[in-house]
Chain A
Amino acid sequence: MPQGIPDADSVETRTLEAFADTILPGARRTPDDTAIAGRSHDAGAVEAGALELLRTPATGVTSGLGEFVGLLNDHARHHADLCALPLTEEEPPFVQLPFEERTALVRALTSPGHPEKEFWVMLSLFCNMAYDSAAHMSTPVAIANGHPGLTAMGFAAPDPDGLLRFKEYSYGRPLARLHPDTTSSGSPA
């Protein structure tokens, strides 16, 4: 089930959530959730903790988030103009874009040659990492708490001591002919 409550007040939060939802989309948390476009049936980057990670100073992006949001909404306004999409004052421009247009804009911003590409790639990277690594928390805690990304991926749970071990790991039989020019130490001749 979706978790969390959309933040109706903060332009920064809603814009960043919409960006994270474009990277790995999730399900709407409430019927009137506008930041999440609702293109998936279960939790995506936002519920996985993208904003918590982006607001962790270790990432190096935290102090620039306000600027990112301003830039993203400027780009969204321009994109809406090009697509003849009407915008209102009620929501940040990026949040008002339909999912396909959010996707098209993120593609443009992260394409080779875009002058701001590096920033948008960094932002995307951390949205991705919130979901597939739970980088903002310890891995055993994330798994124990049912972190949506690690759970969906099937990331293996550690032993009770917090360490991961795979007792079964091999098919245990020869599965190919060896290269004819293999040295006695097992390297290519």
Chain B
Amino acid sequence: MAEGRHEETLDPWYDRVAEAMGVRTQDWNDVSYPGGLWGAACDHSGRTANPVPVAVDKDTCVNCNWMMAGCRFEAKKSLMFNYLPAALAHGATIRPLHEVQRVERTDDGGYRVHYDVIDEDDYRIRTDSGSIDAKIVVLAAGAGATPVILKRSEPDLGTMPNAVGRYFSGNGERLNTAVVDEDRVRDVLGLERDDERAYEAFQVGKGPCVANWDRLDAALPEYSRYSLEQLYFPPALGTILAQVPGAPAPSWFGADKKEMLRRWKSWLIVFTMSEDDNEGVFGAPPPTGNATRLSQQMLGRGTLSYRPTMNTLKGWAQSDAEVKEILEKDGIASVAPWTNDLVGAYTVHPLASCRIGDDPHTSALDDRHELRGHPGIFVTDGSAVPGALTVNPAMTIAALAERSVPGIVDAARERGVDVTYGAPAPDGATSGRGGVLKLVGQRT
């Protein structure tokens, strides 16, 4: 994204994804109170702020912010409502709760994919196992799991490219929590929900609504570019790492933290997406999955190590200082970054652990997303993205995946699979297809 040439090349693919998923720009009437507060604070300090495009149906969204694992109201346009039903309509079979463990080569030049079936409530329990034979394999287990599957497959498949399980990027992510002064929000920013409340609305909304993009200028020095986005995390995930503004660190627990929780309605989370050094490296794969599961679903111990370099730390410090400058101006709020002491660095957008590139030493995939040295294995998830993007990577991950599909179709046809490229968007729209068919024509 930071380099214009790449974005220009990807533009038709972004359009195809936007059409497929129903990504729409929000206007200020759609923006939640926390997004509005962040926009007003940016404006107050002389900065710009934008409502962000999202794949949310604003007519059915109830702004409950309860979307971490889907949406009860079907307003969040997850893959359940576009790509997956379209795949079913084209004859695909979906096997829920099948956790792929490894891939092996078959005598006829194809692949055998081995999986475990896990219990729907307790992911620590394996209920069955099996395998599927395939002429080609498209891996999309995510940047935290795709390289683990490939490394576990090494005894059967042979040596993996050097970059499998290396160059992991956390998208330079960093979080700050502000506790706002309700009176100052009213007096300084002129915001009011009603006669009684200026804000008290941390829980209200639909995840990210407003972002500051003033530091995205490609001409700025590397590691000093980032976006600052208002965001919501539910309690637990969104509270444990928050530190008490002004208190001596560590302050993630204790009496002061409890008082901070008492003001939870007046919280505002600001999310930094910056540039890192692709410094993450995976260790030897665990026995199954991508982590040794501790709790029945969420918590596990993986083998990824990520020691932020001075470049990454510098970007975080710079963005922390800017968030503080914006939100503490004229006493609007008090701000502190989340602690990295408990779980190390954290990210919600893991990337680059099996990436595309030109250099065979530093990229696991060629420009067609095919795993180097292993023809017929393709990777199309966030692990294929080369590095931190300074913005939410979802659109870029999907655009790169769309861009890889014509090549995957070619590979399938070469192996006798009767498929063609050029399906319309899942809802039948065709303008996105029109935009990319021209490019596909150029490459074949």
Name A's B-contacting residues (CB within 8 A).
22-25, 39-40, 44, 57-61, 103, 106-107, 110-112, 118, 121-122, 124-125, 128-129, 131-133, 135, 149, 152-156, 163-182, 185-188
Instruction: Give Cα A69–Cα B134 distance, bound, in whole angstroms.
Output: 51
* Shortest distance from the beta carbon of A65 to any chain B beta carbon, whole Å: 14
Known: A121-B342, A178-B50. A133 touches B235 (CB 8 A): yes
> Which residue from B42, B191, B194, B204 sits with its C-beta under 8 Å from A169?
B204
User: B1, B18, B39, B295: which contacts A175 (Cβ < 8 A)?
Assistant: B39
A171 touches B342 (CB 8 A): no
Say if the beta carbon of B148 comes within 8 Å of chain A: no
Query: Number of contacting residues on B, CB 8 A?
Result: 72
28 interchain pairs, CB-CB under 8 A? A25-B255, A40-B258, A60-B299, A61-B294, A112-B341, A122-B294, A124-B253, A128-B253, A153-B265, A163-B72, A165-B62, A165-B63, A166-B62, A169-B204, A170-B30, A171-B33, A171-B191, A171-B193, A172-B28, A175-B39, A175-B40, A175-B49, A175-B191, A176-B39, A176-B50, A182-B213, A186-B53, A188-B213
Contact A177 B236 (CB under 8 A): no
Q: Min CB distance, A104 to chain B, in Å?
A: 11
Query: Which one of A22, A165, A174 lies within 8 Å of B64 (CB-CB)?
Result: A165
The 10 closest A-B pairs by CB, nearest first: A186-B25, A176-B49, A176-B43, A60-B294, A169-B63, A165-B62, A153-B264, A132-B235, A175-B39, A176-B39
Given A110-B342, A153-B264, A186-B25, CB of A22 within 8 Å of CB of B236:
no
Return chain A residues, CB-CB under 8 Å to B235: 129, 132-133, 153, 155
Residues from chain A with a CB closer than 8 A to the CB of B23 are 185
Q: Per-residue CB proximity of B314-350 to A under 8 Å, as 1/0?
A: 0000000000000000000000000001110000000
- Decide: A125 near B240, CB < 8 A? Known: A103-B254, A106-B253, A166-B204: yes
Q: B301's closest neighbor in chain A, by CB?
A: A118
Q: Which of B53, B72, B214, B299 contacts A122 (CB 8 A)?
A: B299
A186 to B391, CA, bound (A): 13
A176 x B47 contact (CB < 8 A): yes
A128 to B200, CA, bound (A): 22
CA distance A25 to B25 in the complex (A): 44
Q: Would A22 and B254 be within 8 Å (CB), given that A129-B236, A132-B235, A186-B51 are in contact?
A: yes
Q: Are B36 and A170 in contact (CB under 8 A)?
A: yes
Question: Could you tell me the distance between the alpha carbons of A182 and B53 in the complex, rounded to whole angstroms?
Answer: 11
Instruction: Tell whether B6 is near chain A: CB-to-CB under 8 Å.
Output: no
Interface string of B50-84 (1 = CB under 8 A from A): 11110000000011101000001100000000000
Q: Does B50 lie within 8 Å of A44, measured CB to CB?
A: no
- Determine whether the beta carbon of A58 is less than 8 Å from that of B294: no
Contacts of A168 in B (CB 8 A): 193-194, 204
Most buried by B among A156, A172, A176: A176
- Chain B residue nearest in CB terms to A106: B253
Task: Give chain B interface residues in 204-243, CB to chain A under 8 Å.
Answer: 204-205, 210, 213-214, 216, 227, 234-236, 239-240
Q: How far is the CB of B72 from chain A (nearest CB, A)?
A: 6
Within 8 A of A (CB), among B169-196: 191, 193-194
Chain A residues with CB under 8 Å of B120's CB are: none
Distance of B370 from chain A, by nearest CB (Å): 29
Contact between chains at A110 and B18 (CB < 8 Å):
no
CB < 8 Å: which of A22, A60, A128 contacts B295? Answer: A60
Of the listed residues A118, A156, A187, the one surrounded by the most CB atoms of chain B closer than 10 A to its CB is A187
B404-418 residues with Cβ-Cβ distance < 8 A to A are none
B90 on the interface (CB 8 Å rule)? no
- Apart from A153-B265, A168-B194: 6 A-B pairs, beta carbons within 8 A: A24-B258, A111-B250, A121-B343, A132-B239, A154-B200, A166-B63
Contact A25 B254 (CB under 8 A): yes
Question: Any chain A CB within 8 A of the CB of B443?
Answer: no
Bound together, the chains give a CA A112 to CA B128 distance in angstroms of 39
Asked if B32 lies at the interface with its beta carbon under 8 angstroms from chain A, I say: yes
A186 and B62 contacting across the interface, CB-CB below 8 Å: no
Q: Which of B14, B43, B52, B261 contacts A132 (CB 8 A)?
A: B261
Taking a contact as CB atoms closer than 8 A, the residue among B72, B236, B295 that contacts A58 in the complex is B295
B368 at the interface (CB under 8 A from A): no
- Bound-state CA distance A57–B122 (Å) is 10
Q: Does B203 interact with chain A (Cβ within 8 Å)?
A: yes
A58-B122, A128-B236 given; A169·B43 CB < 8 A? no
B5 at interface, CB cutoff 8 A: no
Determine the chain A residues whose CB is within 8 A of the CB of B52 once the complex forms. Answer: 186
CA A91 to CA B163, docked complex, whole Å:
55
Please indicate the chain A residues that have their CB under 8 angstroms from the CB of B236 in the complex.
Answer: 125, 128-129, 132-133, 135
A26–B214 CA distance with the chains assembled, in angstroms:
44
- The reply to whether the CB of B293 lies closer than 8 angstroms to some CB of chain A is yes
A181 contact set on B, CB distance < 8 A: 213
- Is there contact, CB below 8 Å, between B28 and A174? yes
Which residues of chain B are near A164, meaning CB under 8 Å? 62, 64, 66
- CB atoms of A24 and B253 under 8 A apart: yes
B391, A188: Cβ atoms closer than 8 Å: yes
In Å, the complex CA distance between A179 and B194 comes to 29
Indicate if the CB atoms of A163 and B64 lie closer than 8 Å: yes
- Minimum Cβ distance to chain B for residue A111 (Å): 7
Q: Which residue of the partner chain, among A40, A163, A175, contacts B255 with CB atoms under 8 Å?
A: A40
